[in-house]
Structure 1
Amino acid sequence: MENEGLGGSESCCAACQVHPPAWRSARAAFVYDAWSRRLILPLKYSDHTENAAVLAHHMAAAAPDLLMHATVVVPVPLYRTRLWKRRYNQAALMAQHVGARAKVPCMLDALQRVRATRALARLSAAEREQEMERAVRVRDRCCHHIEGQAVLLIDDVLTTGSTAAACANALMRAGARSVDILVAARTGRVDEQNPRFIQE
């Protein structure tokens, strides 16, 4: 895990050196705690879509370098049944606001979940990897738009890193030049599947 403290020093954990993640770097605006949950959970489950703009403001403020590097913004996708029940993808709402702030184009439907997956947090690393294997792909009609791009991948919470890994791998297979991760919050859980983090 890569960290940036108050002094600006950076380091990369042994796990990331042995198993480099598919993405270049990752950033979270908040730790997933009681305060950030008051913004994220109502957005995710209670139709408080106005919270997407608030979270995107903090995400953009936490990652000016990632925004400067990005050439396209892409949200983590929902599987179609979950999208139908929720009626919106909270990651897509945040991606729209982040892209607008950075004046970077946003491709809301570039990624597609091709099958439903179980909740990952309680699975082992091997089980998570198996669960997410080829669960996400770049839509055929979007592949030529992804090729050569520096992609900024947006999500609400990063817990195990498995979903982000599946998305990043799909983007890299489609020819993306690089993938960075920007999330509203990260949990305190860290394991060998998690990304390198630069924590503001």
Structure 2
Amino acid sequence: MQISAALTPIVDFVFPPRCPLCGSPVAAHGGLCLACWDKLAVPSGNCCKLCQRPMGEEYGIESDLICAPCMAEPPKHAGIAAATLYNEPSRTLVLLLKHGRRIGLVPMMARMIVPRLGGIEGEWLVVPVPLHRWRLMRRGFNQSALLAGELAKLTGQKLLVDGLVRPRATPSLGGLNRKARARALSGAIQPNRRCLRQLSGARILLVDDVMTSGSTTDACMVALRKAEVAEVRIACFSRVLDEALDTVRDPQVLPG
């Protein structure tokens, strides 16, 4: 028996598990109560086959739907797997992890991403969106790297935590439009020269905590193409798609 498992009853007695969103008692640390789970917006039903954008049920059950944005500008990635749509509860969880240092939330958040991947066949490299070293020193951890590590364990794939690097610091992207974000990120993310052999020809699962405008993942895609990767899929805990929030949730995927 592992020490952590042996000490679980003691830890639970001293620090009773609580829902990180509302403080209600829960069965185990790192889980949500049913009321807060019900408030998460989990994509369900029909989705765009290229980007997994929820598209509602008015089309019946379809597998080949393509959303208007992908028709206008086909994505260069092989798909997006987002556990939730960005709303107030998912935002709170992200902030608790990123700024509240609640790294105990990572296993739950990663478990919620896995079902959206739809199964990963063959060999993939799990690569997190990088932080600049100054921000990493201030925060003490890269939340995307923690999620990537957990996803690698859950999927049985190899983690390449330093596959991408961020040699140039960028300003906070909050409040910037897509063009301004793209300008700020231009050249800021690069493939790690020490990992070029591993990246070349590889299939990459690119991991981030939140996908907002897509500018950060676009910058990562540019860097990965420089490294001549074969394919890139994007995995994130939450995705900003305000127009899709009416598509509710999938009650079968519980956070555990």
TM-score normalised per structure 2: 0.68
In structure 1, C-alpha distance between the alignment counterparts of 2:122 and 2:129, rounded to whole Å: 19
Equivalent residue number for residue 122 of structure 1: 175
Report the residue type matching 1:163 in the other structure: T
Residue 231 of structure 2 corresponds to residue 178 of structure 1: yes
Residue 92 of structure 2 corresponds to residue 92 of structure 1: no
What's the CA shift string for 1:173-197, capped at 9, x where partnerless? 101100010000011257xxxxxxx
In structure 1, C-alpha distance between the alignment counterparts of 2:72 and 2:88, rounded to whole Å: 33
Equivalent residue number for residue 92 of structure 2: 38
Confirm or deny: 8 A CA contact 1:22 1:169 kept in the other structure.
no
Structure 1 alignment gaps of length 5 or more: 191-198
In structure 2, C-alpha distance between the alignment counterparts of 1:15 and 1:62, rounded to whole Å: 20
Report the residue type matching 1:147 in the other structure: S
Structure 1 runs, 4 residues or longer, greater than 4 Å off = none
Confirm or deny: 8 A CA contact 2:106 2:147 kept in the other structure.
yes
Which of 1 and 2 has greater Rg?
Answer: 2
Structure 2 alignment gaps of length 5 or more: 1-46, 244-248, 251-256
Aligned to 2:78, which of 10, 21, 24? 24
In structure 2, C-alpha distance between the alignment counterparts of 1:70 and 1:41, rounded to whole Å: 32
Equivalent residue number for residue 108 of structure 2: 54
Query: RMSD of aligned C-alpha atoms?
Result: 2.2
Larger strand share, 1 or 2 = 1
Give the aligned length: 191
In structure 1, C-alpha distance between the alignment counterparts of 2:81 and 2:97, rounded to whole Å: 20
What SS does the aligned partner of 1:28 have? strand
Confirm or deny: 8 A CA contact 2:86 2:242 kept in the other structure.
no
Equivalent residue number for residue 196 of structure 1: none
In structure 2, C-alpha distance between the alignment counterparts of 1:30 and 1:11, rounded to whole Å: 20
What's the CA shift string for 1:133-156, capped at 9, x where partnerless? 111001101011001111000000
Equivalent residue number for residue 80 of structure 1: 133
